[in-house]
Structure 1
Amino acid sequence: MLSFSGTHIETQRLILRPLEAEDATELLAIFSDPEVMKYWNTPPWASIDDALDFVAANRVSMQEGEGLTLGIFTQDPYQLIGKCMLFSYSKSSRRAELGFGIGAPFWGKGYIQEAGQALIEHAFTRIGLRRLEAEIAPGNIASAKALERLGFIEEGFLRARWEIDGVVSDSALYGLLLDDWQAQRL
């Protein structure tokens, strides 16, 4: 059985590693912010239990080879700034969904691009995926631009896909194929 538990990725400025219970306070500070959660399909986290439950559930998911969730840490100073994920993993179809979230003070500094490139390379070269998918709110222009810079192509639109706290929202679907990613790197 495939396990993602030991995954550790370093980039020029970042360390991507599995989250620990000790990271819960910093996670809560990021994902309880309504601005950070504005386009997510879940409401902002309300308590430390939300963060601890997230860490525990994702550790199990990684141990069972169902998904990969890594904290995004800056190297200097060493600080948790967000998370990146591969989820809805299908071994037989060799695909997964990619997701990111970082704290508002770190927006616009290129961290999503840096972490995204590293996670995409890991997905295609280490895990052996052939397709990555991403789903975002159509109004989330920053995420759309980030995905496009990473090589994703908008592939579709789902109307009235989510309802969070009584608000119905649509979804834009993006995809990146291994073949396209390899061609972009030439």
Structure 2
Amino acid sequence: MSNFINFNAQTERLSLRCVEDQDAEIIASLMVPEIARWLASWEVPFTVEMAQKRIIRSRREAEAGSALPLAIIERETDRFVGWVSLYRYRDNPYRGMLGYWIGIPAQRLGYLSEIKFAILQAGFDLFGFDSIEAGAQLANEASFGVMT
């Protein structure tokens, strides 16, 4: 399996890189109830310690080649604005799952639409996926807009 810890990609306004220890504080501050309510595996309050543990686990998965957990960074400001991940299904190594969130201050700026093709391409190229799935709660119109 490949090691994805050093993955890096750029779009016009954004950089994508593996999440790092230094991201824990901003992740904890951005994971508010308005974001967590749409996510199955993130809870609030989300502490810095919880963020540190998630980062450690996610980096291990990246090292093992089973996940690509990426910080979404504004290139102009170097500000962490969200998290996007690709995961390999355990029961089918050719099937991937995409998960993502954007912090409230950076929502409605088109960031997920800007990175979605780079993420999907990484899934097909790096993981060798045949298919990539994403899901959202029915009321989450913004996520459905990105997926469409």
TM-score by length of 2: 0.92
Q: Provide the aligned C-alpha RMSD in A.
A: 1.6
SS of equivalent residue, structure 1 residue 132: strand
For the 8 Å contact 2:88–2:94, the answer to whether it is kept is: no
Q: Which amino acid aligns with 1:70?
A: L
Q: Distance in 2 between matches of 1:8 and 1:91?
A: 27
Deviating above 3 A after TM superposition, structure 1's stretches of 4 or more consecutive aligned residues are 88-93
The Cα shift of 1:126 comes to 3.5
Q: 1:126 to 1:87 in 2, by over 3 A?
A: closer
In the alignment, what sits opposite 2:95? Answer: 95
Give unpaired runs (5+ residues) of structure 1. Answer: 149-186
Identity of aligned residues (%): 26
Give unpaired runs (5+ residues) of structure 2. Answer: none
For the 8 Å contact 2:8–2:17, the answer to whether it is kept is: yes
1:133-144 equivalences under 5 Å are 133-144=133-144
Q: Distance in 2 between matches of 1:122 and 1:6?
A: 13
TM-score by length of 1: 0.74
Q: Name the structure where strand makes up a greater proportion of residues.
A: 1
The Cα shift of 1:90 comes to 4.9
Aligned residues, how many?
A: 147
By relative contact order (CA 8 Å, sep 6+), the higher-ranking structure is: 2
In the alignment, what sits opposite 1:59? Answer: 59
In the alignment, what sits opposite 1:35? Answer: 34
1:35-184 equivalences under 5 Å are 35-42=34-41, 43-90=43-90, 93-148=93-148
